[in-house]
Amino acid sequence: MASKKQIILPIAVLIAGVGISAAFSAMKKPPEEKAEKVIHPLVEVQAVTVAPMQLSVDSYGIVKPKYTTSLVAQVNGQIIQLSERFVRGGFVKAGEILARIDPNDYEAALIEAQANLAQASSALEIEQAQAHVAKTEWQRIKNNTNETIPSELYLRKPQLAEKLAQYRAAQASEKRAKRNLERTYIKAPYDAIIESREVSLGSVVSPGSQFGVLNATSVAEIRLPVADKDLQYLVNNGIDAPVTLAAKFAGKSVTWNGKVVRSEGVIDERSRMTYLVAQVDIPYGLTEKPLRFGTYLNAKIEGQLLQSAVAVPRHLVNDGKIATLQEDSTLAFKPLNIVREANGFVIADQGLNDGNRIITSALEYPSDGMTVRIENTLLKSPETQLALKKE
């Protein structure tokens, strides 16, 4: 059995330990209380610039000639002459002779027609003289016999009408012979570029035979499809609007200036687009950058001019409102009058003033009047971003 000493000693040690621990706890100072710190959301902002803004509508098209003509033969014969410029891609002037059909038969026909005309003219003059003699004789007889009704045959009126008809027929034959002789010359109807040639030297042609196809170089046309919803951004539905055309020429970006001259007035059944037609004068006039037929172009049609507008990224606008930073570092939602949405941006002409700061950071639970902190980050303006994105 354990002695009394063995039982009391552990209990005493335990009680002494508890007492020492309580003494140390009593001497420990309580921690100081700290004031609660509120952390406001950190945001990025950028100032907006309100300024005049020219709206535009993007389109595309292929350059085509305004006038295209198929040259066809109007008389029979063998081709005895071809112009050196009457080749695919050749440039010709208005009235230039491209080909010649053998004129011998038509020259002979003209000589014959002229001879017949001379005979008919002589016969007409003789008949007119005989009619004059008959009329004079009738006047003498009438004075002696008091006869008042002469015979038309006696006055040679039928004979005169016959000779006059023969003379006019001879005139028509001569005119027809001259015209056929003129048609042996195949001429360019206007300044043009040759698209194709279908004949060769020595070929025999007949009326309707095709010589080739010419494209006028005075005016080029481009059909520009425009969505119906975009017509609202154009003045007068785009008629007379300036157009900037862009394409590659010799590996370099080149632009041309054109003008919308008309609308085709119908909606295309397949594309559901309205087509505007732009024109460029003398497309081959600039040798350094000719606007060649068949070129695919990107077009920018000039639209309405907004006197004061601003462009902001589309993702910053929610339910027609945008978050702005006030002078007292609080958030405020401002409603926008949205004119157009394009290329990831919203264009508004009301709602923001020049110098207003918009919040570009994504906030989890934004609300009017909440206080935020600004991060000093230099950002490009929305207008600059819009221009860069369009490029």
Residue 83, pLDDT above cutoff 50: yes
pLDDT of residue 379: 40
Q: Assess contact for 42 and 373: CB atoms under 8 A.
A: yes
Q: Decide: 322 and 366 in contact? Cβ < 8 Å.
A: no
Phi, psi of 367 (to 5 degrees): -150, 155
pLDDT at site 377: 42
What was the pLDDT predicted at 84? 94
Q: What phi, psi does 262 have (nearest 5°)?
A: -165, 165
More confident call, 355 vs 24: 355
pLDDT mean over 376-385: 45
User: What average pLDDT score do residues 99-117 get?
Assistant: 94
Between these two residues, 21 and 251, which has the higher pLDDT value?
A: 251
Is the domain spanning 77-101+184-216 CATH 2.40.50.100? The answer is yes
Q: Classify domain 43-53+307-390 by CATH architecture.
A: Beta Barrel (2.40)
Q: Where are the alpha helices (DSSP H) in the chain?
A: 4-27, 104-145, 157-182, 382-390
Tokens standing for 33? 């209380």
pLDDT digits (tens, 9 = 90+) for 142-181: 666 555 666 666 666 777 788 888 899 999 999 999 999 9
Q: What is the CA radius of gyration of the chain?
A: 48
Tell me the one-letter amino acid at 317: V
CA distances from 329 to 50, 244, 364, 379, 381 (A): 22, 44, 17, 19, 20
What are the backbone dihedrals phi and psi of residue 252, each rounded to the nearest 5 degrees, phi first? Answer: -120, 150
Gap between the Cα atoms of 105 and 177, Å rounded: 10
pLDDT at 378: 39
Q: Which residues contact 49 (CB under 8 A, 6 or more apart)?
A: 310, 354, 355, 381, 383
Nearest to 359 by CA among 388, 321, 390: 321
CB 383 within 8 A of CB 49: yes
Which is higher by pLDDT, 224 or 285?
A: 224
Nearest CA-CA partner of 342 in 232, 239, 222: 232
What global pTM score does this model have? 0.72
pLDDT tens digits for range 287-319: 678 899 999 999 999 999 999 999 999 988 888
**CATH code of the domain occupying 58-66+217-305:** 2.40.30.170
Give me the residue spans of the domains in the chain: 43-53+307-390, 58-66+217-305, 77-101+184-216, 103-183
pLDDT tens digit sequence for 334-346: 999 999 888 889 8
Nearest to 75 by CA among 213, 196, 175, 177: 177
